[in-house]
């Protein structure tokens, strides 16, 4: 009988511990899942001369970053020799850009995101910090920069596209004596709107997703014009920035 009492006592104690454990499990809140956006597939589509070009896939976008002098002026060291020139910018500013290139058998397009920044102190990198770089991709409408690769005075978007083995630019780049100067305001009716910009999943390494729609006028080296219409862009990319700035 004594052994039976010990067994009953042990069973009651085990049941009590089990109930307490279950109770603790029920009242412990689950940790909330971290918000994350799935990485999107790179894709682009646009129409030129009534023909639609499109491409899509994983990692078809090549992303890079760089900088040029901003607010540049055309300087001729010798006014009698127009073949020799320099594009000299303000020493206190830089035109930073991120270039996204998509190249397939059917599509060849580059999209530049441009913004002028004040240079950092001497001895440090010219690249802006993360908070400044993110300003390149704010949702909403962005102007088409008309003087990229010449004066570099305008923030916005620049596009380079190839069709029929000919390059067309949305901006008036300087090309020496062969430059065709376009009248200012030629992109006033063009649009580039970033409709979505999100950070993708943490396990993806902190990359970003961007979606945009656009239209633009583009010009060949001789100044011949085409309309780039019904543009749609989806990009998945990382950012380049200085960890020593902001």
The pLDDT assigned to 74 comes to 93
* 54-76 b/e (C-beta count within 10 Å ≥ 16 → b): ebeeeebbebebebebbbbeeee
For residue 144, what are the β-bridge partners?
157
The pLDDT assigned to 23 comes to 39
Nearest to 198 by CA among 102, 134, 245, 155: 134
Who contacts 138 (Cβ-Cβ below 8 Å, separation ≥6)?
194, 197
- Tell me, letter by letter, the H, E, C secondary structure of the chain: CHHHHHHHHHHHHHHHHHHHHHHHHHHCCCCCCCCCECCCCEEEEEEECCEEEEEEECCCEEEEEEEEECCCEEECCCCCCCCCCEEECCCCEEEEEEEEEEECCCCEEEEEEEEEEECCCCCCCCCCCHHHHHHHHCCEECCECCCCCCCCCCCEEEEEEEECCEEEECCCCCCHHHCCCCCCCCCCCCEEEEEEEEEECHHHCCCEEEEEEEEEEEECCCCCEEEEEEEEEEEEECCCCCCCCC
Asked whether 227 and 163 are in contact (CB, 8 A), the reply is no
Per-residue pLDDT of 51-106, as tens digits, reads 999 999 877 899 999 999 999 999 998 888 888 999 999 888 899 999 999 999 88
* pLDDT-above-90 percentage for the chain: 62
Asked whether 114 and 54 are in contact (CB, 8 A), the reply is no
Average pLDDT, the chain: 83
The pLDDT assigned to 143 comes to 98
Question: How crowded is residue 38: how many other Cβ atoms within 10 Å of its Cβ?
Answer: 10
- Predicted confidence band of residue 204 (pLDDT cuts 50, 70, 90): low
Q: Is the pLDDT of residue 178 over 70?
A: yes
| Alpha carbons 41 and 63: distance in angstroms, whole number | 14
The pLDDT assigned to 115 comes to 95
The answer to whether the predicted template modeling score (pTM) of the entire model surpasses 0.85 is: no
Nearest to 162 by CA among 41, 40, 44, 67: 44
Q: Is the pLDDT of residue 110 over 60?
A: yes
| Alpha carbons 111 and 115: distance in angstroms, whole number | 13
Nearest to 190 by CA among 229, 163, 160: 229
Asked whether 159 and 170 are in contact (CB, 8 A), the reply is yes
Per-residue pLDDT of 117-160, as tens digits, reads 887 654 455 788 899 999 999 999 999 999 999 999 999 999 99
């Amino acid at each position: 009988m004594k052994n039976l009492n010990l067994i009953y006592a042990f069973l009651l104690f085990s049941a009590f511990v089990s109930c307490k454990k279950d109770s603790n499990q029920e009242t412990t809140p689950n940790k909330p899942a971290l918000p994350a956006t799935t990485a999107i597939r790179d894709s682009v589509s646009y129409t030129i001369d009534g023909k639609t070009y499109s491409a899509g896939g994983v990692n078809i976008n090549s992303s890079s970053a760089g900088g040029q002098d901003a607010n540049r002026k055309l300087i001729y060291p010798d006014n009698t020799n127009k073949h020799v020139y320099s594009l000299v910018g303000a020493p206190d500013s830089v035109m930073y850009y991120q270039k996204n290139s998509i190249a397939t058998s059917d599509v060849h397009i580059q999209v530049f995101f441009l913004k002028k920044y004040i240079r950092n102190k001497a001895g440090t990198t010219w690249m802006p910090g993360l908070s400044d770089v993110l300003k390149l991709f704010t949702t909403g409408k962005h102007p088409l920069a008309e003087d990229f690769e010449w004066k570099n005075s305008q923030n916005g978007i620049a596009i380079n596209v190839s069709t029929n083995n000919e390059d067309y630019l949305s901006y008036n780049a300087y090309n020496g004596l062969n430059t065709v100067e376009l009248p200012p305001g030629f992109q006033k009716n063009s649009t580039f709107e970033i409709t979505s910009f999100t950070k993708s999943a943490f396990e993806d390494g902190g990359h970003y997703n961007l979606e945009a729609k656009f239209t633009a006028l583009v010009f060949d080296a001789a100044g011949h014009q085409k309309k780039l219409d019904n543009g749609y862009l989806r990009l998945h990319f990382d950012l380049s920035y200085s960890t020593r700035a902001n």
